Amino acid sequence: MMNARVTSADERQMANAIRALAMDAVQAANSGHPGMPMGMADVATVLFNRFVALDVADDKWPNRDRFVLSAGHGSMLIYALNHLLGYDDMGLDQLRNFRQLGSRTAGHPEYGHAKGIEVTTGPLGQGISTAVGMALSERLGNARFGDLIDHFTYVIAGDGCLMEGISHEAIDLAGHLGLGHLIVMWDDNRITIDGDTELSTSTDQMARFAASGWHVLACDGHNPAEIADTIEAARNDPRPSMIACRTIIGYGAPNKQGSHSVHGAPLGADEIAAARAELGWPHAPFEIPQDVYAAWAKVAARGAKAHAAWQARRDGSDKRDTLDAHLAQDMAPLTTAMAAYKAQLLADKPKVATRKASEMALGVVNAALPFTIGGSADLTGSNLTRTKGQLPVKPGDFSGSYMHYGIREHGMAAAMNGIALAGLFRPYGGTFLVFADYARPAIRLAALMGVPSVFVMTHDSIGLGEDGPTHQPVETLAGLRAIPNLTVLRPADAVETAEAWEIAMATTDGPVLLALSRQGLPTLRDNVDENQTARGAYLLRGGDDRQVTLIATGSEVDLAMTAADQLGAEGITAAVVSAPSFELFAGQPDDYRRATLGTAPRIGIEAAIRQGWDAMLRQKDGFVGMTGFGASAPAPALYAQFGITAEAVAAKAKSLI
């Protein structure tokens, strides 16, 4: 263990290297945020120099400490750190090309662009909330693997992160669970873009964290001994810790520090020269003296040693194989179990809501895969996300695999992303589809990062009935389909729902969202030879010599089948295409898509607005769905009221052919 009282004579210069790289890179780019990296350079230096354990030669080492720069606008802080630590993909060329096309040094830190960046940050509040998921994953891992998983999660968050509403959900959850290895360093500089924080807040942040069950501390963020003492105390407290680090934004720039003018603009040549004099840093831009590199190399060397010690522990551990299985996330057991389950569905032909079918499929998933972590934002009995034998995760007991996230959709989604990023578990979590909007910024980040969180969203249309228009999604599906790299699945029956879960678990490069019905639906499929849902859309009925093609999703596929029956009785041949995923269909070969959709007139059917359906409909085609908000009534009355009926579909078909 590090001794907080060992000070290094080099720390001031190690921090100044961060300051110089930040001001020079921002100046070179003529864009960026020098204030935060310069202000937090001392805190970051002490944190890394004395505490953080990571291995630049293996940035995915499972028990590495996590460092999350929640104040992502200060991205030059992490780029400078990663350069000084010696990551081989963060050479000076990257810093010189800060914010330029093709460089790893994007405007805000982006997961996957460079080693040592654990999560994409920039939307304020997301980093700290994602870090809660990482710290939760660490506790879950610790309960299963003992000292093979016991790392810390360190966060640097600014005033903005703490003002964002999501921070409260995250803080509340972390405090409740007692995530003792989570340490948040708050950049208490009392400045945001508009000016002094007095303009917009009078919250006592330390009291707020304390009220949520956190251990709170304060330090002078430019005093290495105080910084180290507080971090040491934080590490030794069983609660999550927040350290208010009183800092001066832009520290070292003599005429601009302490002012919002250094938040997000280059300092300018004169002020940079003055800062060099003030800091005692005579070196040219992007020039770091060898002794400073050497001091940072010691930090990397200590991390490499910690990794080696961990490797020895792991090699001798009886938990080695189960840990490896978690890390590998082998899906083979699921494939076998699902094949048997789907065959049984064909025999049983259950008439169940797809949320119920999801619960049934999840029973198979959770039994086959030991690394799922389920949950719901206080709608467990509605989302049907908890399966037999799943025990709740509780303060002091992290052996369970089911999270009661509380009424915190946004915090849940961010925490799920953190769990997924940590690499040990596969998270899924539920709420009502209409509240996807409450979680949207985190869903978007999952998509941007390519992180496999699975969102289980039930009550997916006016079909939820009596709860009325506040709870009835109409534009939600369109909004979700608009997010690049998010796979939206709206299965029609129990077979498609099982297939949707197979797809969700097999997808490792992006989030998947399941839109599920409240109301019961018959089993429509009569074969399970191929995962047809993976095609995105497929011919469920007919196809040859069709006069019209009815394309529907989810609960409306049954309605399309009834309409096809009615048309058939009048001698009109209708094909029915079930289209559970627009994204997966868009990824199919052209000839498959053409053959599926056919050349006959098409009618799209979905109890939602038409936006997005142009992917499958041409201008002359028809659409039966919603044009405005819903209403409160039993579901059948609402479908009749809004004209989403087999009769309406049949009438539209006749008008088109």
Ligand X SMILES: Cc1ncc(C[n+]2csc(CCOP(=O)(O)OP(=O)(O)O)c2C)c(N)n1
Active-site residues: which are they? 409
Binding site for Mg ion (CB under 5 A): 158-159, 189, 191
Query: Contact 200/170 with Cβ under 8 angstroms?
Result: no
The footprint of ligand X on residues 250-289 (CB under 6 A) is 263
Look at residue 54 and give its three-state secondary structure. Answer: coil
Tokens of 271: 């002020």
Burial label, 1 (beta-carbon count in 10 A; 0-12, 13-18, 19+): exposed
Name which of 235 and 246 has its Cβ closer to Mg ion: 246
- Residues 490, 584: Cα–Cα separation, whole Å: 12
Phi-psi region of 235 (alpha: psi -120 to 50; beta: other; left: phi over 0): alpha
What is the closest distance, in whole angstroms, from the C-beta atom of residue 186 to ligand X in the complex?
Answer: 9
Name which of 22 and 179 has its Cβ closer to ligand X: 22
Which of residues 29, 71, 478, 504 is near ligand X by CB under 6 A? Answer: 71
Partner interacting with residue 35 (select from ligand X, Mg ion, none; CB below 5-8 Å by kind): ligand X
The footprint of ligand X on residues 136-175 (CB under 6 A) is 158-161, 164
For the window 621-640, what string marks contact with ligand X as x by the rule CB under 6 A?
A: --------------------
Partner interacting with residue 420 (select from ligand X, Mg ion, none; CB below 5-8 Å by kind): none
Partner interacting with residue 359 (select from ligand X, Mg ion, none; CB below 5-8 Å by kind): none
Name which of 47 and 249 has its Cβ closer to ligand X: 249
Partner interacting with residue 193 (select from Mg ion, ligand X, none; CB below 5-8 Å by kind): ligand X
Interface with ligand X includes 192 (CB under 6 A)?
A: yes
Which residues touch 492 (CB under 8 Å, ≥6 apart)?
354, 521, 524, 540, 552, 553, 554, 555, 557, 558, 578, 580
What is the closest distance, in whole angstroms, from the C-beta atom of residue 642 to ligand X in the complex?
Answer: 36
Burial label, 294 (beta-carbon count in 10 A; 0-12, 13-18, 19+): exposed
CB-closest chain residue to ligand X: 158
Interface with ligand X includes 36 (CB under 6 A)?
A: yes
- Residues 9, 15: Cα–Cα separation, whole Å: 11
What is the closest distance, in whole angstroms, from the C-beta atom of residue 253 to Mg ion in the complex?
Answer: 15
What is the closest distance, in whole angstroms, from the C-beta atom of residue 143 to ligand X in the complex?
Answer: 33
Interface with ligand X includes 249 (CB under 6 A)?
A: yes
Write phi, then psi, for 485 (nearest 5 degrees). Answer: 70, 10
Look at residue 317 and give its three-state secondary structure. Answer: coil
| Closest-CA residue to 583 (of 455, 517, 485) | 485
Partner interacting with residue 71 (select from Mg ion, ligand X, none; CB below 5-8 Å by kind): ligand X
β-pairing verdict for 215-220 and 241-246? parallel
DSSP code string of 105-163: --SS--TTTSTT--S---STTHHHHHHHHHHHHHHHHHHHHGGGS---EEEEE-HHHHH
Name which of 160 and 430 has its Cβ closer to ligand X: 160
What is the closest distance, in whole angstroms, from the C-beta atom of residue 119 to ligand X in the complex?
Answer: 14
- Residues 487, 489: Cα–Cα separation, whole Å: 6
Name which of 40 and 338 has its Cβ closer to Mg ion: 40
The footprint of ligand X on residues 308-367 (CB under 6 A) is none
Partner interacting with residue 43 (select from Mg ion, ligand X, none; CB below 5-8 Å by kind): none
Which of residues 80, 95, 173, 191 is near ligand X by CB under 6 A? Answer: 191
Tokens of 600: 């006959």
- Residues 219, 247: Cα–Cα separation, whole Å: 9
Interface with ligand X includes 124 (CB under 6 A)?
A: yes
Which residues of the chain form contacts with ligand X (CB under 6 A)? 35-36, 71, 73, 122-124, 158-161, 164, 187, 189, 191-193, 249, 263
